Structures are given as structure tokens and as C-alpha cells.
Amino acid sequence: MTGQLRHMLRDDDVSHEEQKQILELGMKFRENRFYRQPFAGPQGVAVLFDKPSTRTRTSFSIGVAELGGYPLVIDKSGSQLGRGEPVADTSRVLSGMAYGIVWRTFGQERVEEMAKYATCPVVNALTDQFHPCQVLADLLTIAQFRGGVDALAGKTIAYLGDAANNMANSYLLGGAVAGMHVRVAGPYGYLPDKAIVADAERIAAENGGSILVTTDPKEAVADADCVFTDTWVSMGEEAEYAIRSKPFWPYQVNDELMALAKPDALFQHCLPAYRGKEVTSSVIDGPQSVVWDEAENRLHAQKALLTWLVGQQRGDDALLA
């Protein structure tokens, strides 16, 4: 049976029920890392990196291998993409050999161009606009500690810091798909794109959730079930840290802010973290922090996503069960 070619380029590329399917698969992979092996053969998956990586490289490389496949890891300097080959040409070439394409790159238009010409699933492993694989792992982490996948809907999550970055965008969309109450707080000048907020509001309304964008960190954190943050300076902006960090100090996740959330609220950070800046050591190393489970869940969530995408393409319901 022939299925439908699907990609994961941004968090709302899946529906509420489809996201639940992926997360349920992720829970099964947590219990048994070899639960399914859709790439047995081994079948190759191209994993492309235009940006430095630790967690993404490790989790996708090990994940594809545990799915029975061969991860072909290609850095920017080792591909013709780095020398100006059109994305469309690369996509056609890789699709003829690989069973999936994973790409960590810059502009969102790049992964969209790759998907346009691909005949196998394409996964956004991070762009400047979205980081859907991270948010799947973060939702999986909440499900792990707070009652399973069915318990996600209705929970409140708060993100503090640079609210104009890819993590804020993905929390808005991914949380809305899950039916959560999503709150994003950042200073003026660092708030999310209005079009993304509008998409998130529409999706949240369909799934029983809500969206709040605010400049008040206390309003965002009040009675939240989980608090998130990210580095205040994205890759490539390190030289501007002293200037860029000034507006963000009121959004530092510290004991005072965490005390406003629910008593059993979780703390998550996509890492790398800078203690004493976006988060204090007492929080990230404290009892409410689940960042190491969150990092491990990148492996399980991404294996689930790849398995789900392959199941859709092949029309194989057994891979989705």
C-alpha cells in the first residue's frame, strides 16, 4: 500500500491527533529503544549540518542507527551545498539514495525548498525560525513526568527570554497543537512574529488551548506547569552578548520566578545553558529541573517522528502502532 509523503518542517505540520501518535511512539521508544526498526537493511538517512550541534547530531545519528538504518552525517564543509549547489539539486540527488533527509540549517526557506523536491520525508532539525524536534522532546518530557500524553492538553507552559527566536515560535505552535495554554514573555523588540502568533491562536482555539504573549515574566509564569527558557544570544551572535543581554535580565529564570509557578512545576532548557544568565544554577541544577531527561528525549522523540513519517509514506499502520 502506498501512503502519503509527509514532512516535519514546522510544528503545525501535524494535527493534534497526529502529534499524539508521535508522542505515544516516543513513550514506547523510551521503554524499548529498539521498539521499531523502519530503516532495517540498513537504509540510509542523510543528516545534514550547516550549524554546529551536540544534541541534534548525537540524537539523530544514534537514533537512525537504532532504527536499523545508516546515518550519513554531512557537514556544510563536506557537501556541495556549502559551495553553492542549489538546494533543489541536492534534494533530488539525496532522494534517489536516502530514505529520509534531516537538515539543521539557517533560513526556513531552505528546508521548504528541500522538501519541495524530495521524494522522501524531510525533517527540520533546526532553522532560524523553528525547532520542532526540540519541542516534541519537551512535550514528551512533560508527558513522562506528568501523567502521559493524554494529560498534555490543558496544561500551562511558560517560555521566558528571547521571544522572537525559533524556540518561542515552536513553543507557540507545538503547544497550540497539543491543546496547551502557552505563555511567551520577552522584552519589547524581542516578541514573536504576529503571523506566527495568529497561527498559534487559531490552532489553540481548535484544540482547547490558549495563547498569551506578554512582556511581563511574572504573568507568564503564574501557576505554570512547566517553565522554559533558552540562551539570550543565538548562534552567530556571541560577540554581541553584552549588548543583546541587557533587555533580558528581568526574564532570568531564578528561584523567585519559579516560586510563582505551580509547586511541582518542571523546568526545561533546550541547552546549551549559561548558568547565571538566562537561568540560575539553583534552578537548572535543582529538584524541579528535568533538562537531562529532556536532552535524552530528543533521541526518543526523533526516532518516533522518523518512524511516523516513514509509516505515513509507506502506508504501514504497523509502524504507527
Cβ–Cβ < 8 Å for 133, 124: yes
Whether pLDDT at 121 is above 60: yes
pLDDT, averaged across the chain: 96
270 a catalytic residue: yes
Note the pLDDT tens digit of each residue in 3-48.
999 999 999 999 999 999 999 999 999 999 999 999 999 999 999 9
19 a catalytic residue: no
Residue 196: per-residue pLDDT: 98
Confidence class of residue 249 from pLDDT cuts 50, 70 and 90? very high
Confidence class of residue 77 from pLDDT cuts 50, 70 and 90? confident
Catalytic-labelled residue, pool 7, 21, 230, 300: 230
Cβ–Cβ < 8 Å for 103, 111: yes
Residue 245: per-residue pLDDT: 85
Catalytic-labelled residue, pool 21, 298, 312, 313: 298
Catalytic-labelled residue, pool 183, 268, 269, 270: 270
Residue 298: per-residue pLDDT: 98
Query: Residue 257's closest CA among 219, 229, 221?
Result: 221
Please report how many Cα atoms fall inside a 13 Å half-sphere around the Cα of residue 154, on the Cβ side. Answer: 6
104 a catalytic residue: yes
**Residue 140 in 3-state DSSP?**
helix
Cβ-proximal residues to 50 (8 Å cutoff; 6+ apart), any chain: 76, 81, 82, 103, 104, 105, 106
131 a catalytic residue: yes
Residue 277: per-residue pLDDT: 95
Classify strands 181-185 and 156-160 as parallel, antiparallel or unpaired. Answer: parallel
Cβ–Cβ < 8 Å for 44, 98: yes
Measure CA 194 to chain center: 20
Note the pLDDT tens digit of each residue in 189-210.
999 999 999 999 999 999 999 9
Task: Give the residue ranges of DSSP H helices in 182-290.
Answer: 194-207, 217-221, 241-244, 255-258, 281-284
For residues 209-231, average pLDDT: 98
For residues 132-158, average pLDDT: 98
Known binding positions for L-ornithine: 166, 230, 234-235
Known binding positions for carbamoyl phosphate: 53-56, 80, 104, 131-134, 270-271, 298
Confidence class of residue 2 from pLDDT cuts 50, 70 and 90? confident
- All domains of the chain, ordered by start, with CATH? 7-130+297-314 (3.40.50.1370), 134-294 (3.40.50.1370)
Say whether pTM exceeds 0.75.
Answer: yes
The residue with greater pLDDT, 79 or 163, is 163
Note the pLDDT tens digit of each residue in 38-74.
999 999 999 999 999 999 999 999 999 999 999 999 9
For residues 113-125, average pLDDT: 98
C-alpha cell at 21: 501518535
